[in-house]
């Protein structure tokens, strides 16, 4: 060790590269678990930072930028990456990672960055594929011509990482631009010719890539006009199976874990407002967040696999033409379909849509797709108004109605896109040009990382909102104008208080008298035309945080302490009679109208929060609330009039 | 003979002469689709749109409407 080495010495490194070149693998290999996912200030583009040590003890802070093809940005992601590169200090090292099998393209970006007069280190990734295909790249020659260090690696297995660390110990800026001209244009013919000659001088290719042949063969099926759609349907079917059936078990564990926890707390903490807030406000909110983690984790792992293997580009390829008339593009397919699990991660996954207008439209319509939080509501209401044994032909009517609701969601989403296509104006022209990567096995470590990151974002972004709103709703439903609760308690004083029935009755009457109850009653004139009573009004108010809260609220309103027993809520609701007319409250018309209302209304604070974050303005979430609210009201109104 | 990429058939080869739209050119060039390069029409999506072309060892999907602005010498 020489004496100039300072243990406190730190350097900053920025990781730049084309999309799909192994940037994330390299980032993971360098930093391990020492990484943080954040955002660029003010925008929605993800920024990952991490740190690691060099052998001399120097601490390296590394920032992973979104993939970009050139310094001329086309998408939101690229714009942030380019701005970031330009804003780095002249001492910061830019680590350009290149897909060695796509050297020309990578050198374009690399040469543009060299011309920004920054210290650059070039890393050539996927050297395994290069060697397997008998291609030889003259690393020294390349380094000499570019006047920068060039390091061959294989990020997938972590080969060459040590070399990067060695090189980072002493990088000096050579002040040697790629193009000598004063005004180095990003895409001048001069630049392209120089790159072409560099590549032909330093790369000797022996034979055609084997992967290419395999890809062509597979594409014969996967992009075939019949086989393509069939295989797409099969793969989607498998994904939904995985999301809905595999996620069921961990979801149950999480739920029973929370029940267990709340039982323990119930016994150990003395009664009072604080305990009530903890159990019914905070804990209820948290369990509402955590219960979605399995679905989100599975969905994002599968999306990461689709993306990593190269199949995602094929989905976009075969679906683009079908979605174009609706103002969407091929990239919108997966976010829209993922909306059936949860709108929150789906809206986040719409980031891959380069075209801003298409992306906005996709984000706007995703919440119309029936998500899994609607399932408990659908199940309860369908079982309430449709007998289990009724059939349409050979099909179970309950199932048909359920499927109809999903179809309705998709149709509404597509028609809304069509509408927005004519409304949203676009300033910058953008094209749907997409690389079709060769098929390759997924990199499991990056799949896992991607999954963990998305779960982290969900818990933090959506979780905060859900917990906050749960607490607000708890306050609204646990407090009443002064004296009201006392009156109720007085009224039932003579009864035996330990009696469960009476306790439930008190709980129900308290909810009615609470601020939430007042709110529910005050919106009654508004929802009466839809066939809803004030109890449904309260449930609409409380389920503004999350739709599934509807079931729990109904359980309380119809005075059943235990929210688990859906069948008994169902029976109680079935028996509910209107005090004045003496008729059934939950007729077919009311249930149908309520189903339609839940299919369309924007009752999800988490989604609104994520839309705000992704579009960086409150304009879009507010528009969504208004648009979906009106759509829900009018559709429910028409449905009620039709069935009544 | 010169023609637009949108008029080419599957399996045809040509050389990119010119890209008529400046913004389109920037995006294509960034992906390696540069005037002077050989181009091969690899595949069409169902419904004949988009087109998949091959330039060097990479495959790029381009909508037919945009392909109309790419002039090819066959």
Confidence class of residue A184 from pLDDT cuts 50, 70 and 90? low
Pick from A144, A370, A348, A147: nearest CA to A240: A370
Least confident range from A219-228, A251-260, A463-472, A560-569: namely A560-569
**Is B13 part of the contact surface with chain A (CB cutoff 8 Å)?**
no
Chain A CA closest to residue B49: A321
| A421 shares its domain with A481 | no
Least confident range from A162-171, A540-549, B3-12: namely A540-549
**Is B56 part of the contact surface with chain A (CB cutoff 8 Å)?**
yes
pLDDT value, residue A560: 45
Q: Is residue A377 part of a domain?
A: no
Task: Say if residue A113's pLDDT is above 90.
Answer: no
pLDDT value, residue A4: 44
Task: Say if residue A5's pLDDT is above 50.
Answer: no
Q: In the β-sheet with B38-44, what is the strand arrangement from edge to edge?
A: A433-436, B58-62, B51-55, B38-44, B13-19, B70-73, B2-4
| H/E run at residue A98 | strand A93-99
Query: Domain containing A125 — which CATH number?
Result: 3.40.50.300
Q: Is residue A456 part of a domain?
A: no
The answer to whether the Cβ–Cβ distance between B49 and A229 falls below 8 Å is no
Residues 6+ apart with CB under 8 A from A548: A288, A373, A374, A375, A376, A377
Residue A485 backbone zone (phi > 0: left; psi -120 to 50: alpha; other: beta): alpha
Task: Compute how many other C-beta atoms are within 10 angstroms of the C-beta atom of residue A588.
Answer: 14
| A175 shares its domain with A269 | no
Residues 6+ apart with CB under 8 A from A313: A434, A435, A436, A437, B61
**Can you give the residue ranges of every domain in chain B?**
2-73
* Displacement of CA A13 from its chain's centroid (Å): 28
Task: Say if residue A41's pLDDT is above 70.
Answer: no
Among the partner-chain residues B26, B45, B58, the one whose CB lies closest to the CB of A435 is B58
Interface of A with B in 305-364 (CB under 8 A): 313, 316-318, 320-322, 330
Are the beta carbons of A584 and A577 closer than 8 angstroms? yes
pLDDT value, residue A303: 85
Pick from A88, A62, A32, A82: nearest CA to A168: A62
| H/E run at residue B40 | strand B38-44
- Residue B11: CA atoms inside 13 Å, Cβ hemisphere, count? 0
The domain B2-73 is classified under which CATH number: 3.40.640.10, 3.20.20.100, 2.30.30.90, 1.10.3720.10?
Answer: 2.30.30.90
SS (H, E, C) A114-180: HCCCCCEEEEEECHHHHHHCCEEECHHHHHHHHCCCEEECECCCCECHHHHHHHHHCCCCCCCCCCC
Joined tokens for residue A261: 């926890």
Number of domains in chain A: 3
pLDDT value, residue A2: 43
> What ipTM, to 2 d.p.?
0.94
Least confident range from A410-424, A431-445, A495-509, B7-21: namely A495-509
C-alpha dihedral, A291 to A292 to A297 to A298, nearest 10°: 100
pLDDT value, residue A1: 40
pLDDT 10s digits, A298-324: 888 988 898 889 898 999 999 999 998
pLDDT value, residue A102: 78
Residues 6+ apart with CB under 8 A from B53: B5, B33, B39, B40, B41, B42, B59, B60, B62
Joined tokens for residue A537: 């009004």
| A198 shares its domain with A292 | no
CA distance B43 to B52: 5
Confidence class of residue A566 from pLDDT cuts 50, 70 and 90? very low
Q: Over chain A, what is the mean pLDDT?
A: 82
| A362 shares its domain with A242 | yes
Q: Is residue A388 part of a domain?
A: no
Tell whether omega for the bond before B50 is within 30 degrees of 0, i.e. cis. Answer: yes
DSSP secondary structure string, A193-218? HHHHHHHHHHEEE-S--HHHHHHHHH
Q: State which residues form the domain around A507.
A: 476-643
Residues paired with B73 in a beta bridge: B2, B15
Percent share of chain A, pLDDT over 90: 20
Cα three-residue angle A172-A174-A178, rounded to 5 degrees: 135
The answer to whether the Cβ–Cβ distance between A321 and B45 falls below 8 Å is yes
| A75 shares its domain with A165 | yes
**Is B11 part of the contact surface with chain A (CB cutoff 8 Å)?**
no
Contacts of A225 in chain B (CB under 8 A): 46-47
| A430 shares its domain with A512 | no
Are the beta carbons of A384 and A573 closer than 8 angstroms? yes
CA distance A104 to A116: 19
Bigger pLDDT: B22 or A451? Answer: A451
CA distance A200 to A553: 70
The answer to whether the Cβ–Cβ distance between A223 and B52 falls below 8 Å is yes
pLDDT 10s digits, A417-466: 999 999 988 766 667 888 888 888 888 888 898 888 888 877 887 777 77
Among the partner-chain residues B23, B35, B43, the one whose CB lies closest to the CB of A429 is B23
Among the partner-chain residues A187, A219, A223, the one whose CB lies closest to the CB of B26 is A187
| DSSP-assigned letter for residue A577 | B
Confidence class of residue A595 from pLDDT cuts 50, 70 and 90? very high
Q: Is A493 exposed, middle or buried (0-12, 13-18, 19+ CB in 10 A)?
A: exposed
Mean pLDDT of A598-611: 90
**Is B40 part of the contact surface with chain A (CB cutoff 8 Å)?**
no
The answer to whether the Cβ–Cβ distance between A212 and B57 falls below 8 Å is yes
The answer to whether the Cβ–Cβ distance between A215 and B45 falls below 8 Å is no
CA distance B58 to chain A (A): 7
Task: Say if residue A28's pLDDT is above 60.
Answer: yes
The answer to whether the Cβ–Cβ distance between B32 and A108 falls below 8 Å is yes
Joined tokens for residue A232: 């797409």
For chain B, count helices (H), then strands (E): 2, 6
End-to-end CA distance of chain B: 6
pLDDT value, residue A36: 65
The answer to whether the Cβ–Cβ distance between B27 and A317 falls below 8 Å is no
Confidence class of residue A216 from pLDDT cuts 50, 70 and 90? confident
Handedness of CA A69, A73, A75, A79 (dihedral sign): positive
Q: Is residue A396 part of a domain?
A: no
Among the partner-chain residues A72, A209, A322, the one whose CB lies closest to the CB of B57 is A209
Give me the helices (H) in A462-618, please. 463-478, 484-491, 500-513, 515-522, 524-527, 534-542, 549-557, 566-575, 588-600, 605-615
pLDDT value, residue A206: 54
Mean pLDDT of A204-222: 76
Say whether A633 sits in a helix, a strand or coil: helix
Q: Is residue A462 part of a domain?
A: no
Q: Is residue A447 part of a domain?
A: yes
| DSSP-assigned letter for residue A280 | I
Residue finishing a domain among A418, A451, A484: A451
Confidence class of residue A559 from pLDDT cuts 50, 70 and 90? low
Least confident range from A102-111, A203-212, A395-404, B44-53: namely A203-212
pLDDT value, residue A620: 95
pLDDT value, residue A97: 92
Contacts of A437 in chain B (CB under 8 A): 59
Pick from A619, A320, A281: nearest CA to A472: A281
| A522 shares its domain with A416 | no
| A54 shares its domain with A99 | yes
Least confident range from A4-13, A89-98, A107-116, A461-470: namely A4-13
| A579 shares its domain with A620 | yes
| A245 shares its domain with A166 | no
CA separation, residue A113 to residues A87, A97, B22 (Å): 12, 12, 22
Confidence class of residue A563 from pLDDT cuts 50, 70 and 90? very low
**Is B27 part of the contact surface with chain A (CB cutoff 8 Å)?**
yes
pLDDT 10s digits, A271-302: 888 888 888 778 877 887 788 788 888 888 98
pLDDT 10s digits, A132-176: 767 788 888 888 888 889 999 888 777 888 888 888 887 776 667
Length of chain B: 74
**Is B38 part of the contact surface with chain A (CB cutoff 8 Å)?**
no
DSSP secondary structure string, A420-460? HHHH---SS----EEEEPPP----HHHHHHHHHHHHHHIII
């Amino acid at each position: 060790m020489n004496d100039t080495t300072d243990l406190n010495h730190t350097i900053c490194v920025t990781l730049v590269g084309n999309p799909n070149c192994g940037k994330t693998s390299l980032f993971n290999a360098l930093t391990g678990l020492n990484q943080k996912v954040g955002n660029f200030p003010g925008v929605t583009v993800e920024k990952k930072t991490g740190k690691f040590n060099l052998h001399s003890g120097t601490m390296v802070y590394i920032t992973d930028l979104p993939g970009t093809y050139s310094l001329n940005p086309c998408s939101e992601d690229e714009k942030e990456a380019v701005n970031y590169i330009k804003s780095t200090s002249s001492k910061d090292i830019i680590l350009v990672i290149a897909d060695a099998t796509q050297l020309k393209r990578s050198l374009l970006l690399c040469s543009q960055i060299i011309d920004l007069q920054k210290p650059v280190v070039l890393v050539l990734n996927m050297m395994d594929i290069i060697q397997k295909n008998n291609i030889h790249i003259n690393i020294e020659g390349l380094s000499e011509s570019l006047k920068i260090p060039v390091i061959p690696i294989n990020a997938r297995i972590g080969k060459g990482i040590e070399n990067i660390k060695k090189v980072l110990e002493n990088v000096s800026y050579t002040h040697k631009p790629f193009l000598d001209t004063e005004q180095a244009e990003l895409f001048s013919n001069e630049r392209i010719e120089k790159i072409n000659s560099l590549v032909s001088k330093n790369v000797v290719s022996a034979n055609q890539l084997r992967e290419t042949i395999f890809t062509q063969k597979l594409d014969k099926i996967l992009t075939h006009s019949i086989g393509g759609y069939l295989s797409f349907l099969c793969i989607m079917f498998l994904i939904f199976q995985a999301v809905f059936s595999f996620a069921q078990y961990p979801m149950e564990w999480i739920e029973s874990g929370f029940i267990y926890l709340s039982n323990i707390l119930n016994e150990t903490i003395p009664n009072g407002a604080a305990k009530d807030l903890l159990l019914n406000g905070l804990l209820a909110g948290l369990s509402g967040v955590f219960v979605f983690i399995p679905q989100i984790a599975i969905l994002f792992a599968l999306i990461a696999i689709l993306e990593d293997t190269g199949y995602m580009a094929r989905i976009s390829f075969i679906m683009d033409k079908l979605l174009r008339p609706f103002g969407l593009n091929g990239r919108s397919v997966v976010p829209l379909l993922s909306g059936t699990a949860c709108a929150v991660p789906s809206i986040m996954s719409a980031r891959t849509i380069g075209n801003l207008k298409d992306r906005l439209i996709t984000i706007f319509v995703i919440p119309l797709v029936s998500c899994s939080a609607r399932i408990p509501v659908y199940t309860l209401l369908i079982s309430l108004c449709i007998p289990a044994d009724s059939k349409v032909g050979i099909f179970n009517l309950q199932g048909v109605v359920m499927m109809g609701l999903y179809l309705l969601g998709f149709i509404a989403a597509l028609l809304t896109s069509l509408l927005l296509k004519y409304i949203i104006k676009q300033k910058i022209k953008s094209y749907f040009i997409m690389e079709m990567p060769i098929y390759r096995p997924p990199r499991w470590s990056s799949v896992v990382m991607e999954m963990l990151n998305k779960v982290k974002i969900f818990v933090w972004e959506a979780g905060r909102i859900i917990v906050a709103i749960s607490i607000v709703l708890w306050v609204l439903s646990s407090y009443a104008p002064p004296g009201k609760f006392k009156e109720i308690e007085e009224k039932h004083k003579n009864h035996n208080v330990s009696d469960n029935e009476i306790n439930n009755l008190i709980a129900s009457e308290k909810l009615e008298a609470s601020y939430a109850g007042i709110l529910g009653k005050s919106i009654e004139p508004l929802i009466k035309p839809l066939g809803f009573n004030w109890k449904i009004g309260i449930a609409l108010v409380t389920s503004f945080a999350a739709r599934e809260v509807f079931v729990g609220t109904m359980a309380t309103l119809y005075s059943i302490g235990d929210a688990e027993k859906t069948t008994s809520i169902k029976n109680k609701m079935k028996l509910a009679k209107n005090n004045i007319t003496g008729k059934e409250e939950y007729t077919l018309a009311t249930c149908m109208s309520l189903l339609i209302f839940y299919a369309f209304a924007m009752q999800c604070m988490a989604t609104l929060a994520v839309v705000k974050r992704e579009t960086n303005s409150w304009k879009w979430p507010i528009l969504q609330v208004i648009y979906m609210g009106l759509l829900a009201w009018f559709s429910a109104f028409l449905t009620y009039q039709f069935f009544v | 003979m010169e023609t637009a990429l949108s008029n080419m058939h599957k399996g045809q080869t040509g050389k990119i002469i010119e890209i008529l739209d400046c913004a389109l050119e920037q995006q294509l060039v960034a992906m390696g689709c540069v005037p002077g390069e050989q181009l091969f029409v690899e595949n069409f999506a169902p419904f004949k749109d988009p087109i998949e072309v091959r330039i060097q060892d990479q495959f790029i999907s381009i909508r037919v409407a945009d392909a109309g602005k790419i002039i090819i010498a066959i």
